[in-house]
């Protein structure tokens, strides 16, 4: 259900980006819009789903098993506390936006800088609403309501798409970017609004009060502090990526944003969906220490294999057919073939760490189920340090050493992030071994998946060459269709149980 909700919202997200690319391409106004959106986005990252999932859900699920009335009061108190904190941060953010723009986009000046300031101030209230939407997600997930919370972003996407289609022909450049920003705020309100009735029903009409469940609320706040700091460190890393990209030629910030929509799709669909579904289940495991450890290890290893089966072909398709994916989605209007190849290079860099990023999410969820939020924080800080140092070198110095244009340094940013993700994953895995014993996926199983994905990519290239010259959507339909079918067939032939289960459900022997 999580994957279905994410799939719907992400598909609309891809449509949104296609419409945006049609009107903006990789122009200066596209850079300003994407940079401005990222500035207040730290609210959602710091206070939003990641922090609430790690600190609130384990405590809330345990309370639901013991005292449902007390659990509801604690949920309402957390909502009230979150609303107060976010309101204060939104106000401060609007006031200090010029300073934030100066710090995080030093390469922007003149009209581009002024537009970024105006856009960021519009985005701040919308980001605050998205944080409250994440609180709704935490309540709904704890009660086993997964689809609505992850499908709610559909309304946010629809609001932006509608705004662009209505005003896209009459306005342009920075003016259209500002109109689209207001559409984003309206979409944030819709995303929160569709979840509130279900949350109010589950909480039984309990009025928000900071006095309710003080002890449990204190536990949630204490657990959230390490996650909050960890998310903050990661968020700073994300902003440093924007700083580095702003020092590259015009279009780098927008191109990274276009690529990010694509490479976060498998992370969300396959990594976040599995991790989100596992966290409440892991948190509710009971029994003595040995029984709980055994059940956690079984759930963890089963989910690792499930993620690998889905993410490995995603990484290979970005490397081998990234231009087909990006071209089919973006190449229209102001978005040219040259821009498609540029985004492909950035996608290729991101593919290096795709599997590590998704596995890392699951390992972090396991720590959170054990109510250990400090260990993932330490490892996140290591990852950020590596990302910053390596990203700066790969983005600004590697193109000079290779004798290529500076703009290709954008691919170096995602390449560095991928390398750092592998380091974090190995640290998380090694740290958990002392509690659960050795965990992981058998190498034989992984080898089958990599070989199947590479063979499927070769088959897809044969089909691509056969339909070369046709419309981009036709090329994508046939080549990517062949890739998916070949991967499924080869993995099934090699005895991969996940593939055989899928074929069995489809009626194939």
pLDDT in tens, 134-148: 888 878 877 777 787
Angle, CA 13 vertex, CA 57 and CA 421 arms, to 5°: 60
Segment 297-305 shows an average pLDDT of: 87
User: Encoding tokens for residue 205?
Assistant: 């009409």
User: Encoding tokens for residue 232?
Assistant: 């903050």
Segment 190-204 shows an average pLDDT of: 85
Residue 329: which H helix or E strand, with range?
helix 289-330
CA gyration radius, the chain: 23
| Cα–Cα distance for residue pair 40/107, rounded to 1 Å | 19
Per the rule left: phi > 0, alpha: psi between -120 and 50, beta: everything else, 473 is: alpha
What pLDDT score was predicted for residue 500? 86
- Confidence class of residue 503 from pLDDT cuts 50, 70 and 90? confident
What pLDDT score was predicted for residue 46? 61
Bigger pLDDT: 90 or 1? 90
Closest to 12 measured CA to CA, from 160, 137, 122: 160
| Cα–Cα distance for residue pair 249/108, rounded to 1 Å | 11
Q: Where are the alpha helices (DSSP H) in 25-152?
A: 28-38, 41-47, 49-66, 68-95, 97-104, 110-142, 147-151
pLDDT over 70 at 429, yes or no: yes
Most confident of 2-6, 191-195, 480-484: 480-484
pLDDT over 80 at 194, yes or no: yes
Instruction: Tell whether pTM > 0.75.
Output: no
User: Encoding tokens for residue 85?
Assistant: 């904190």
Estimate to the nearest angstrom the gap between the alpha carbon of 95 and the chain centroid: 28
Handedness of CA 378, 379, 382, 388 (dihedral sign): negative
pLDDT over 90 at 294, yes or no: no
Q: How many CB atoms lie within 10 A of CB 75?
A: 30
| Cα–Cα distance for residue pair 47/55, rounded to 1 Å | 11
Return the domain boundaries, the chain: 2-441, 442-509
Tens digit of pLDDT for each residue in 321-359? 999 998 888 888 778 889 899 999 988 988 998 899 889
Segment 273-287 shows an average pLDDT of: 72
pLDDT over 80 at 26, yes or no: no
pLDDT over 80 at 99, yes or no: yes
Segment 217-245 shows an average pLDDT of: 64
Torsion, CA 268, CA 271, CA 274, CA 276, rounded to 10: -60
Q: How many residues does the chain have?
A: 509
What pLDDT score was predicted for residue 243? 75
Bigger pLDDT: 212 or 332? 332
Tens digit of pLDDT for each residue in 40-69? 776 666 665 556 666 677 777 777 777 777
Q: What is the mean pLDDT of the chain?
A: 83
pLDDT over 60 at 214, yes or no: no
Segment 249-270 shows an average pLDDT of: 80
Per cent of the chain over pLDDT 90 is 21
Closest to 147 measured CA to CA, from 37, 330, 333, 8: 8
With contact defined as beta carbons under 8 Å apart, do 488 and 503 qualify? yes
Q: How many CB atoms lie within 10 A of CB 110?
A: 8
Bigger pLDDT: 21 or 272? 21
CB neighbour list of residue 171: distance below 8 Å, 6 or more residues apart: 179
């Amino acid at each position: 259900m999580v994957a279905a909700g994410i799939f719907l919202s992400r598909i609309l997200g891809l449509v949104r980006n296609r419409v945006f690319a049609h009107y903006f391409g990789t122009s200066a106004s596209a850079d300003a819009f994407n940079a401005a959106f990222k500035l207040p986005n730290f609210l959602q990252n710091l206070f939003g789903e990641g922090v609430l999932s790690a600190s609130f859900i384990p405590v809330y699920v345990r309370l639901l098993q013991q005292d449902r009335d007390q659990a509801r009061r604690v949920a309402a108190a957390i909502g009230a506390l979150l609303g107060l904190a976010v309101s204060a941060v939104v106000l401060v953010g609007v006031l200090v936006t010029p300073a934030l723009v100066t710090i995080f986009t030093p390469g922007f000046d003149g009209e581009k800088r002024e537009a970024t300031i105006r856009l960021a101030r519009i985005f701040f209230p919308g980001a605050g609403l998205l944080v409250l939407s994440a609180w709704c997600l935490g309540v709904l997930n704890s009660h086993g309501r997964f689809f609505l919370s992850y499908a709610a972003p559909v309304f946010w996407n629809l609001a932006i798409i509608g705004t662009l289609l209505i005003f896209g022909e009459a306005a342009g450049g920075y003016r259209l970017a500002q109109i689209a920003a207001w559409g984003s705020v309206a979409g944030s309100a819709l995303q929160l609004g569709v979840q509130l009735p279900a949350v109010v029903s589950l909480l039984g009409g309990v009025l928000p009060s900071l006095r309710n469940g003080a002890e449990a609320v204190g536990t949630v706040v204490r657990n959230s502090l390490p996650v909050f700091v960890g998310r903050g460190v990661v968020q700073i890393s994300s902003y440093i990526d924007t700083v580095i990209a702003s020092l590259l030629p015009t279009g780098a910030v927008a191109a990274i944003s276009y690529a990010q929509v694509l490479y976060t799709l498998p992370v969300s669909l396959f990594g976040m969906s599995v991790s989100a579904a596992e966290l409440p289940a892991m948190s509710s495991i009971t029994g003595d220490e040995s029984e709980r450890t055994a059940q956690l290890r079984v759930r963890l290893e089963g989910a690792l294999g499930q993620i690998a089966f889905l993410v490995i072909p995603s990484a290979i398709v970005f490397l081998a057919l990234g231009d087909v994916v990006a071209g089919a989605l973006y190449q229209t209007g102001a978005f040219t073939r040259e821009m498609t190849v540029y985004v492909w290079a950035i996608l290729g860099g991101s593919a290096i760490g795709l599997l590590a990023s998704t596995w890392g999410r699951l390992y972090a969820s396991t720590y959170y189920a054990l109510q250990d939020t400090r260990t993932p924080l330490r490892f996140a800080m290591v990852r950020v340090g590596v990302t910053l140092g390596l990203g700066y070198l790969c983005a600004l110095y590697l193109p000079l050493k290779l004798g290529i244009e500076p703009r290709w340094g954008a691919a170096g940013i995602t390449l560095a992030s991928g390398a750092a993700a592998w380091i974090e994953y190995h640290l998380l895995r090694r740290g958990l071994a002392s509690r659960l014993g050795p965990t992981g996926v058998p190498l034989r199983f992984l080898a089958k998946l990599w070989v199947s994905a590479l063979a499927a990519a070769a088959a897809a290239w044969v089909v691509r060459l056969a339909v070369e010259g046709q419309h981009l959507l036709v090329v994508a339909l046939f080549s990517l269709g062949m890739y998916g079918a070949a991967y499924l067939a080869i993995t099934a032939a090699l005895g991969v149980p996940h593939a055989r289960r899928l074929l069995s459900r489809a009626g194939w022997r």
